[in-house]
Structure 1
Amino acid sequence: MQVEVVKSKIHRVTVTESNLDYIGSITIDEDLMDAANIIRGERVYIVDNNNGERFDTYAIAGERGSGMICLNGAAARKVQPGDVVIIMSYAMMPFEEAKTFKPWVIFPDTATNKLVN
């Protein structure tokens, strides 16, 4: 049996911009992507803590160290700059492996979206 479990989570980052005229996706500071083990093109789920929206899209890398969290395309209509979001990805794995799997979870500073040591 295969089960889907949380693989990666960026807990509480602030949306820095939205770009309705872009093709689609979410642009995430590459430092945050690396720390959370999210790769370019990976499907991610977004939860907006401000308005309750939940949706999925794919990740693209933003400038390292920029703190950028930008919702692009149609997703730009779901959030506002300044909203606090949670970004998650999931993975399928065998049931027994899932029991001991530890996801990558990071807690950036919501004021800067930078990693906190």
Structure 2
Amino acid sequence: MYIEILKSKIHRAKVTQAELNYVGSITVDEDLMDAADIVAGEKVQIVNNNNGERFETYVITGERGSGTICLNGAAARRVQVGDIIIIISYCSVKKKKAKSIKPILVFPDENNKL
């Protein structure tokens, strides 16, 4: 049996942009992606601390060191610039192995820097 568990998360990142007229996704600073072991195209769950919204999208690589957290397309309607979000990545593992998985937790500062 396989179960989905937390692989990694970027906790309390600040939304820097929302681009409605763009193909849907979330653009994330490559430094944060590397720190959280998230790859381009990976499915993630977004939790908006400001309004309680929860939704899924995929990651696009943002400029390294820029602090960019940009919701694109329809997802842009779920946030406001300045909102605090959590970006969550999960993985599927055999239930027996689940207890040995140690999730990566990334806590950026107020400028989305490590």
Q: Normalising to structure 2: TM-score of the pair?
A: 0.99
- Superposition misfits of 4+ residues, deviation over 6 angstroms: none
| Partners of 1:2 and 1:105 in 2: CA distance | 22
What do the CA deviations read for 1:69-116 (whole angstroms, capped 9, x no partner)? Answer: 00000000000000000000100000111111001111010x21000x
Q: Which residue of 1 aligns with 2:20?
A: 20
Q: Which residue of 2 aligns with 1:52?
A: 52
Whichever residue aligns with residue 20 of structure 2, its letter is: L
Q: Which residue of 1 aligns with 2:41?
A: 41
| Partners of 2:16 and 2:96 in 1: CA distance | 39
Q: In the TM superposition, what is the alpha-carbon distance from 1:8 to its structure 2 partner? A: 1.1
Q: Which residue of 2 aligns with 1:99?
A: 99
Q: Which residue of 2 aligns with 1:3?
A: 3
Whichever residue aligns with residue 48 of structure 1, its letter is: N
| Partners of 2:9 and 2:84 in 1: CA distance | 14
Given the alignment of the two structures, is residue 62 of structure 1 paired with residue 62 of structure 2, yes or no?
yes
Q: Which runs of 5+ in 2 are unaligned?
A: none
Structure 2 counterpart SS, 1:100: coil
Q: In the TM superposition, what is the alpha-carbon distance from 1:37 to its structure 2 partner? A: 0.2
Q: In the TM superposition, what is the alpha-carbon distance from 1:5 to its structure 2 partner? A: 0.1
Of all paired residues, the percent bearing the same amino acid is: 64
RMSD: 0.5
Whichever residue aligns with residue 112 of structure 1, its letter is: N
Q: Normalising to structure 1: TM-score of the pair?
A: 0.96
Q: Which runs of 5+ in 1 are unaligned?
A: none
Q: Which residue of 2 aligns with 1:113?
A: 112
Q: Which residue of 2 aligns with 1:30?
A: 30
* Count of residue pairs brought into register by the alignment: 114
| Partners of 1:59 and 1:98 in 2: CA distance | 24
Q: In the TM superposition, what is the alpha-carbon distance from 1:50 to its structure 2 partner? A: 0.2
